[in-house]
Amino acid sequence: MPLELGILNRRRFFAGIAGVGASWLGQRALSAAEAIKAPSGTWALVSDTHIPSKLGERHRGACMAENVERVVSEILSRDAGTGGVIVGGDCARLYGHADDYRNFAGLIEPLVHGRREVHLLMGNHDNRNVFSRTCATAFPDHEGPSGRRTAFLPSEHLNWFLLDSLEEGSPVAGRLGRDQLDWLAAALDRHPDKPAVVMAHHHLKIRDEKGRVFQPMSALRDSSELHEVMKSRRQVKAYLYGHTHRWEIGRTREGIHLVNLPSSAYVFDSSQPVGWVEATAREDGLELEFRSLHSLHPSHRERHRLKWR
Ligand SMILES: [Fe+2]
């Protein structure tokens, strides 16, 4: 990331958070237990942080704020996320309160200090209007079609297309809407020559290559429309999402990789881990390393190499 961009990001960040004092700037310095250097230009993928308005709040045995502190600390200690940090939605605890976002901004502020460009998606537990009033201008992504937050992020080996699947009034399921699908199709058509990775908060309601459909009631309502846009464009190689609080990798029948990013906060299935994912783009694919917050979890440091179709 160019130096100037980092400085701009920091200035914008501090100017863009409404009603925040300096109290949250004093973050605890956590020990870097596994300070192994990551390859340069990696992306740090974090999801479902569920930061509450009371920092000490716990849910399902986890302190969400403490977990994010640990993730942020590890990203910095590994020198990861220098390509960018993407938070896959459900940044807020349940309803997207202003204090949730102020706390969220405070917790990720060391990343901005560390010259990381931070992008975030909206999930079903976010509130787009409250986020916009509280700290949207602190983040680089601009308003997309129909007031949604979309982003096109070009990088050396791939282009990211970030989508906003938060549907107001829907507590769990999501929807992109025709305008956003058209925006994606046009944006993909303008960039046919580089591998594309599409990302939104919700999982797809489609059969994967094993014939499975995961929890269709809580999925993206216009999954088949998104699937149509993606499968007909060969440059689309992967779809990344959060929402289910699971770490899982699958594929569509057309060979589009489906990457379910884990939650950094808590899980619904006790066999699942909490953590984050470090992604390194290559010319012919994407390398993923899962970083569990519990180093004894069997999937900690699990690596996958996604080869492009
Ligand atoms: Fe969530």
Residue 81 has pLDDT above 80, yes or no: yes
Distance 28 CA to ligand 1 centre (A): 25
Torsion of CA 139, 144, 150, 153, to 10 degrees: -80
pLDDT of residue 251: 97
From 231, 225, 246, 212, select the one nearest 174 (Cα to Cα).
225
pLDDT of residue 20: 54
Distance 234 CA to ligand 1 centre (A): 30
Distance 244 CA to ligand 1 centre (A): 7
pLDDT tier at 9, thresholds 50, 70, 90: low
pLDDT of residue 283: 93
Residue 5 has pLDDT above 80, yes or no: no
Specify the higher pLDDT residue, 149 or 14. 149
pLDDT tier at 8, thresholds 50, 70, 90: low
* Spatial separation of the C-alpha atoms in residues 179 and 184, rounded to whole Å: 9
Which residues, chain by chain, have CB under 5 Å from ion ligand 1?
48, 90
Q: What is the 3-state secondary structure (H, E, C) of 136-192?
A: HHHCCCCECHHHCECEEEECCCCEEEECCCCCCCCCCCECCCHHHHHHHHHHHHHCC
Averaged pLDDT, 301-308: 98
Q: What is the 3-state secondary structure (H, E, C) of the chain?
A: CCHHHHHHHHHHHHHCCCCCCCHHHCCCCCCCCCCCCCCCCCEEEECCCCECCCCCCEECCEEHHHHHHHHHHHHHHCCCCCCEEEECCCCECCCCCHHHHHHHHHHHHHHHHCCCCEEECCCCCCCHHHHHHHCHHHCCCCECHHHCECEEEECCCCEEEECCCCCCCCCCCECCCHHHHHHHHHHHHHCCCCCEEEECCCCCCCCCCCCCCCCHHHCECCHHHHHHHHHCCCCEEEEEECCCCCCEEEECCCCCEEEECCCCCCCCCCCCCCEEEEEEEECCEEEEEEEECCCCCCCCCCEEEEECC
77 to 36, 65, 81, 249: CA distances (angstroms): 7, 18, 10, 26
Distance 221 CA to ligand 1 centre (A): 17
Averaged pLDDT, 241-265: 98
Specify the higher pLDDT residue, 179 or 39. 179
Distance 190 CA to ligand 1 centre (A): 32
- For 92-127, write each residue's pLDDT tens digit: 999 999 999 999 999 999 999 999 999 999 999 999
Spell out the domains of the chain, with CATH numbers in brackets. Answer: 3-18+35-307 (3.60.21.10)
72 to 11, 68, 122: CA distances (angstroms): 19, 6, 19
pLDDT tier at 168, thresholds 50, 70, 90: very high
Averaged pLDDT, 57-82: 97
Mean residue pLDDT of the chain comes to 89
Averaged pLDDT, 282-300: 97
- For 135-146, write each residue's pLDDT tens digit: 877 787 777 888
- For 234-250, write each residue's pLDDT tens digit: 999 999 999 999 999 99
Averaged pLDDT, 70-81: 97
Residue 299 has pLDDT above 50, yes or no: yes
pTM: 0.90
- Which residues in 2-39 are b (16+ Cβ under 10 Å) and which e? eeeebeebbeebbeebbebeeeeeeeeeeeeeeeeebe
- For 180-229, write each residue's pLDDT tens digit: 999 999 999 999 999 999 999 999 999 999 999 999 999 999 999 999 99
Q: Which two tokens stand for residue 162?
A: 């970030």
Distance 58 CA to ligand 1 centre (A): 14
